[in-house]
Structure 1
């Protein structure tokens, strides 16, 4: 019965999200409904002590990233840089390469360490412009961005700095480059199959005369400047964000050490404020990189941005508030569901799968799907069963590098169900609904999930690591 309750909560939340209702409202309703049916006396404590605690903690860490990411995307749009880059891409590669171009830009940013949430804000203006010029339907933009940012560069390619590739390291004593051959093969599989699917969908839409679409929401404003910037200048802020993020990721821990504390300058005795730098270094690096990107746009295109900055920044702030609150609500939902007895039933049932790698893959992707979070599901799975995964793999003669890669890739499988925070953010930013665009995102999700089984099969046949 406890399992049925968490399953019902999950299905309910996916249903209301798909129907276009606010996740900010219904995530706590779904979570606390499950608590009510499991332990009624824990509804209030769970809401205040877990749901709100996790929700507030997420906003405390990540709202500045959402805000700066939204402002960065907006100034790139208002400066005309997005139109300049798109025009250059169209000239060089042709309009038929619109999908590949956006996937490539997303992949480069994500592999460079830029948060996938930031990538959504930064790339959307480019994607909207190139899809409009190419006559491709806007409803394919979310799936295109998802392929570039949520898949192969997030956890498959060896060395990716994304959190999904970092979480397994302490559990298996590996590094970010674990199983480079398998990771690269998985990345090629995802990219090839994903591009084939999206191009097939776009050809069908063009053949049907669908076009970009009309009466759409969240459309980037057309550039009203006299002339467009040089494409190299327009690319500079985007490149700078990736480079600065990489530099600051290394520099911040060196500058502040393992911990840093200060005493606020207030009247009377004040307790020192201490922070563990390891927990915030990556966040500070992204924030610094985005600030650098915004300042670069302002320096290079002050005149066109200045005239519309007040209204444009208000729109960006509104989008950041909505996107971050949606995602934070999902985070709180996942925390409550993971604390219920039904979640343990799922975890125990998954242990019965015999093959070590398939057991790990199914467990991780199932928990990521239930919690609506790749990093959340992966963290929960490894904290509860990491030692078991490692022991079973070693007993079967499987290197822990392979266990690392399978765990990382599996976390980015079924996590992108309709209630996933990144999916909701992506749809919010692009102004589309689940009904309009989620079907294609789900196919990308399925391709990513199948890729994990493909990598396991390659290892079994070839022994490649």
Structure 2
């Protein structure tokens, strides 16, 4: 009982401190100590083993994603300094009008993530683009952040059939299904998320205009704008797109080769390339970003005046988002090693609920506690999924419902991806989390429950 109470209090305290702006390192460590003490885990072991080096440990995450964060931040800095991002944003504004800025942000992010680009790369790429879009449309920064979250972190991540997201891969690997499992369920959930999400964002923007709320640049935005130079002095938007096309092309090339069926992994040079990309899901997009950064430096003369300095600034920009995200992941690493967490999972199974509602409760609780949809889904598939298959749930249905559900309560204030997005965009929980909550928690939960209701008819 004490262990379960400790988990709940620790999680609630972490959420409270995140919302109050407490340093996330201190918050994560204090809450980890509380969870360890109430669950009979030795504090030294919790802080020196589970928190840093466990399967969901802080350093485990930071070591795994360091190169990707570094390359993503450097690429974003180069796109801003060359004014390539500014040129693309101005072209979009001229073509579609400022009134469609939210749709542009959402759709661009959705296309990138559905194409296989990692969420963190999308955020780093969209941020310099977004500064100009927000300035032109006088769009509050919090709403651009929420639109990015809708496009990159909801339906393309968990619901849309065929998405190459890690969540889809985890479920397919565990259940023996494919990436298109539960197609109609996923399409319906995607439609719900898009319609409700955009309706909310458009309503909030209208209310913001009525209040006189608009885009307010912070010091980080001003530095990026000063780095870019005078508006209108950047490259033509067609040339500006080339580095982004290079990133997408390199990331998607292995997928296109695999879909063609003409290339067998490991056979020949193309087969070797395909095998390498499949074995290195983090290094491959990092390599794409490095090559695209090199292409940008060669294409845009303005970058060659201070190339080393720009690379250093980009590297500096990557550190805090990475460490803040890792700190919260470390808390999840401590939680998953406690007896209270195991008891909590078993208790959910014992509750007398219809099977699909029980799946919803199980995945929601696990993802919410660890603050990670992929981490929660991985734990669910390893520990609880076999029991639900025994209850008679079809693997394809379990795949899609578990996926959609994992993308709900995972995005509470202690979620690593939420913290990374806020850090990259220079926002605080107080400024932006309300909109993120509606888009990435409330609406996905509604979508999951509607899918379960339809399946129960």
Q: Which runs of 5+ in 1 are unaligned?
A: 258-275
Residues 309-318 or 51-60, more deviating:
309-318
Question: Deviations 1:69-93 (Å, cap 9, x if unpaired)?
Answer: 0111111111111111111111111
The equivalent residue for 2:374 is: 375
Residues 436-445 or 163-172, more deviating:
163-172
Q: 2:241 aligns with which of 235, 243, 266?
A: 235
Contact 2:58 2:333 in 1 (8 A): no
Q: 1:277 to 1:48 in 2, by over 3 A?
A: farther
1:217 CA displacement: 3.8
The equivalent residue for 1:460 is: 456
The equivalent residue for 1:326 is: 324
State the secondary structure of the residue aligned to 2:411: coil
Q: Distance in 2 between matches of 1:2 and 1:277?
A: 44
State the secondary structure of the residue aligned to 1:418: coil
The equivalent residue for 1:79 is: 82
Q: 1:59 to 1:88 in 2, by over 3 A?
A: same
Q: 1:191 to 1:353 in 2, by over 3 A?
A: farther
| 1:59-458 matches, cutoff 5 A | 59-219=62-222, 220-222=224-226, 223-224=228-229, 227-248=233-254, 254-255=265-266, 280-301=279-300, 303-351=301-349, 352-392=351-391, 394=392, 398-444=393-439, 445-458=441-454
State the secondary structure of the residue aligned to 1:282: coil
The equivalent residue for 1:21 is: 22
The equivalent residue for 2:38 is: 37
1:24 CA displacement: 2.2
State the secondary structure of the residue aligned to 2:312: helix
Q: Distance in 2 between matches of 1:310 and 1:39?
A: 50
1:338 CA displacement: 1.1
1:214 CA displacement: 4.9
Q: Distance in 1 between matches of 2:100 and 2:190?
A: 20
Q: Distance in 2 between matches of 1:428 and 1:455?
A: 33
Question: Deviations 1:307-348 (Å, cap 9, x if unpaired)?
Answer: 354443333222211111111112211011011122123212
CA RMSD of aligned residues (A): 2.2
Contact 1:357 1:456 in 2 (8 A): yes
The equivalent residue for 1:264 is: none
Q: Distance in 1 between matches of 2:115 and 2:68?
A: 16
The equivalent residue for 2:272 is: none
State the secondary structure of the residue aligned to 2:63: helix
1:236 CA displacement: 2.2
1:26 CA displacement: 2.2
Contact 1:112 1:243 in 2 (8 A): no
Contact 1:110 1:153 in 2 (8 A): yes
1:33 CA displacement: 2.1
Question: Deviations 1:91-118 (Å, cap 9, x if unpaired)?
Answer: 1111000011011111111111111111
1:246 CA displacement: 2.1
Contact 1:253 1:281 in 2 (8 A): no
Contact 1:373 1:421 in 2 (8 A): yes
Q: Which runs of 5+ in 2 are unaligned?
A: 269-274
Contact 1:74 1:316 in 2 (8 A): yes
The equivalent residue for 2:271 is: none
Q: Distance in 2 between matches of 1:278 and 1:82?
A: 27
Q: 1:50 to 1:279 in 2, by over 3 A?
A: farther
1:253 CA displacement: 9.6
State the secondary structure of the residue aligned to 1:31: helix
Contact 2:18 2:413 in 1 (8 A): yes
1:36 CA displacement: 1.9
State the secondary structure of the residue aligned to 1:221: helix
Q: 1:81 to 1:277 in 2, by over 3 A?
A: closer
| TM-score for both structures, normalised by structure 2 | 0.90
Contact 2:254 2:277 in 1 (8 A): no
Q: Distance in 1 between matches of 2:91 and 2:279?
A: 37
1:215 CA displacement: 4.4
Contact 1:365 1:411 in 2 (8 A): yes
Q: Distance in 1 between matches of 2:132 and 2:306?
A: 19
Residues 19-28 or 66-75, more deviating:
19-28
Contact 2:371 2:414 in 1 (8 A): yes
Contact 1:67 1:316 in 2 (8 A): yes
| TM-score for both structures, normalised by structure 1 | 0.89
